[in-house]
């Protein structure tokens, strides 16, 4: 009975925190800990300090890159590709946002790309909903593919010390060898399906009725939006190359553990490697690009990253407290289910991701529990893409931004809310990525 009441409290806290959004999720997690410890006498779980420190290092490096202007270089290169091949924007736009997220570690890069994608689509007579919804989903799918994203570094940190059926620990490169092909396949499926979604603008009666009004037509087609007319200084290019160089170094050290220092008889953990090189990259960019400290702490990457950090802190601490106290019973109930039906883990992860609106927070809440009940680390890696489930309802900022930037009105929330522009691309993308991930994990011999 106590377990049921405590579970209701945890779900209620997650629901209320998610509704308030932002920092509220982490703060409400603190309320949950108080209720569980003082109300039910549960021993407090351990906050995920190792995960949080890795997150902090990555967030700081990414924010320094944005403050240096290095992010603008990546966006400009992506726009150049899209404008060169406008006919293929339904495929190229989501692949571009996926790549940008992979390089930067955050899906928030999509905000700058959305007006550019809209401009190219509307001028080419392509229904804007097709590339815009696909690009928004692809940007979020890219998070679990990035070696410098909060979700990936958190997952690597949490799986550190846990061996798979082949006797090895899952390293960064092994994880990315599953998530990157899965995400690419998912985005290609989304792109193909999007080519045929909705009516062509010339056959869309609602759209044609709108543009009969000269003022509305002027609003819909607007003025040309572009980054191509900006001449970016060499310092911004240097910052981009430094950041990408750090990613390459981290990837190489992940692939070749013999290149890392030996500590206590073992190669230095990638948890520390990521922290060291992200902070170092940030420091070099800071000096080379002459970044102002206030520009780092005030930009979007830093703010969104800190929100994610606090969300992980509160949510993971609360769930660790609650489930840690009942781990024996949970093993008895869930252990056999997940052993027989590995996809059950993926469904739980998708559901929790929607509740917390964060891939990093979802992983921090579910992975420790999954490991405790005997879910194999290989299964956790195989279904890593399932940590993105907040496309289910159109409440995430990037979804709302896509709706706002689409002045044609084709990207929308349906009458029943659930029938919005992002739901099918999300299901197709995450479903495909998870399926491909499972197949690859089987081929690699880790499940």
Q: What's the average pLDDT block by block, 10 residues per block, for the chain (447 residues)?
A: 84 78 80 93 85 81 89 86 91 94 80 86 93 96 90 88 86 92 98 94 92 90 78 92 88 81 84 88 94 88 79 81 74 66 87 80 85 88 95 80 87 82 96 97 92
Q: Per the structure, how many domains does the chain have?
A: 1
d(CA 153, CA 174): 13
* Number of Cα atoms under 13 Å in the Cβ half of residue 290: 3
**pLDDT value at position 353?**
84
**pLDDT value at position 22?**
62
What is the domain extent for residue 243? 2-444
User: To which H or E segment does residue 266 belong?
Assistant: strand 266-267
d(CA 62, CA 203): 44
Mean pLDDT for the chain overall: 87
Long-range contacts: 360-363, Cβ < 8 Å, 24+? 360/55, 360/149, 360/150, 360/151, 360/154, 360/308, 360/311, 360/312, 361/25, 361/308, 361/311, 361/312, 361/315, 361/316, 362/387, 362/389, 363/151, 363/154, 363/155, 363/158, 363/387
Task: State how far Cα 346 lies from the chain centre.
Answer: 16
Q: Which two structure tokens, joined as six digits, stand for 252? A: 């190489």
Whole-model pTM? 0.77
**CA 353 to each of CA 204, 359, 389: distance values in angstroms, whole numbers, following the listed order:** 35, 6, 5
Asked if 378 and 447 touch (Cβ cutoff 8 Å), the reply is: yes
**CA 436 to each of CA 366, 384, 385, 439: distance values in angstroms, whole numbers, following the listed order:** 21, 11, 10, 5
Name the residue with tokens 């799918």. Answer: 141
**CA 105 to each of CA 147, 190, 264, 425: distance values in angstroms, whole numbers, following the listed order:** 7, 21, 31, 21
**pLDDT value at position 1?**
67
**pLDDT value at position 18?**
65
**pLDDT value at position 327?**
67
**pLDDT value at position 231?**
86
């Amino acid at each position: 009975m106590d377990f049921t009441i405590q579970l209701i409290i945890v779900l209620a806290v997650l629901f209320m925190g998610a509704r308030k959004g932002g920092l509220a999720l982490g703060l409400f997690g603190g309320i949950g800990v108080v209720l569980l410890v003082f109300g039910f006498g549960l021993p407090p779980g351990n906050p995920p300090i190792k995960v949080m420190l890795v997150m902090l290092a990555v967030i700081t490096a990414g924010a320094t890159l944005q403050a240096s202007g290095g992010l603008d270089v990546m966006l400009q290169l992506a726009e150049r590709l899209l404008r060169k091949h406008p006919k293929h924007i339904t495929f190229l736009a989501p692949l571009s946002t996926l790549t940008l997220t992979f390089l930067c570690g955050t899906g928030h890069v999509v905000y700058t790309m959305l007006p550019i994608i809209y401009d190219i689509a509307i001028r080419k007579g392509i229904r804007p909903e097709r590339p815009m919804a696909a690009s928004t989903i692809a940007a979020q799918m890219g998070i679990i593919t990035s070696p410098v994203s909060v979700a990936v570094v958190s997952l690597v940190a949490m799986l550190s010390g846990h061996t798979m059926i082949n006797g090895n620990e899952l390293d960064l490169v092994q994880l990315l060898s599953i998530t990157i092909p899965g995400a690419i396949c998912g985005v290609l499926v989304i792109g193909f399906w999007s080519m045929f979604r909705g009516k062509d603008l010339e056959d869309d009666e609602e759209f044609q009725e709108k543009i009969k009004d000269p003022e509305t037509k002027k609003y819909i087609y607007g003025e040309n939006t572009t980054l191509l007319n900006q001449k970016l200084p060499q310092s911004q290019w240097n910052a981009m190359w430094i950041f990408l160089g750090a990613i390459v170094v981290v990837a190489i050290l992940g692939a070749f553990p013999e290149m890392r220092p030996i500590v206590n008889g073992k190669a230095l953990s990638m948890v520390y490697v990521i922290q060291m090189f992200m902070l170092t990259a940030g420091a070099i960019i800071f000096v080379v690009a002459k970044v102002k400290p206030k520009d780092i702490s005030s930009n979007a990457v830093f703010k969104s990253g800190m929100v994610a950090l606090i969300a992980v802190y509160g949510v993971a601490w609360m769930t660790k407290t609650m489930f840690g106290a009942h781990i024996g019973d949970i093993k008895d109930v869930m252990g056999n289910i997940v052993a027989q039906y590995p996809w059950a883990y993926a469904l739980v992860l998708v559901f929790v991701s929607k509740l917390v609106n964060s891939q990093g927070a979802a992983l921090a809440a579910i992975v420790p529990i999954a490991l405790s009940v005997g879910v194999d680390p290989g299964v956790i890696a195989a279904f890593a893409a399932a940590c993105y489930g907040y496309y289910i309802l159109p409440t995430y900022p990037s979804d709302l931004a896509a709706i706002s930037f689409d002045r044609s009105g084709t990207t929308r929330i349906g009458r029943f809310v659930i029938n919005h522009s992002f739901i099918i691309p999300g299901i197709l993308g995450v479903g495909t990525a998870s399926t491909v991930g499972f197949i690859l994990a089987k081929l690699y011999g880790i499940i």
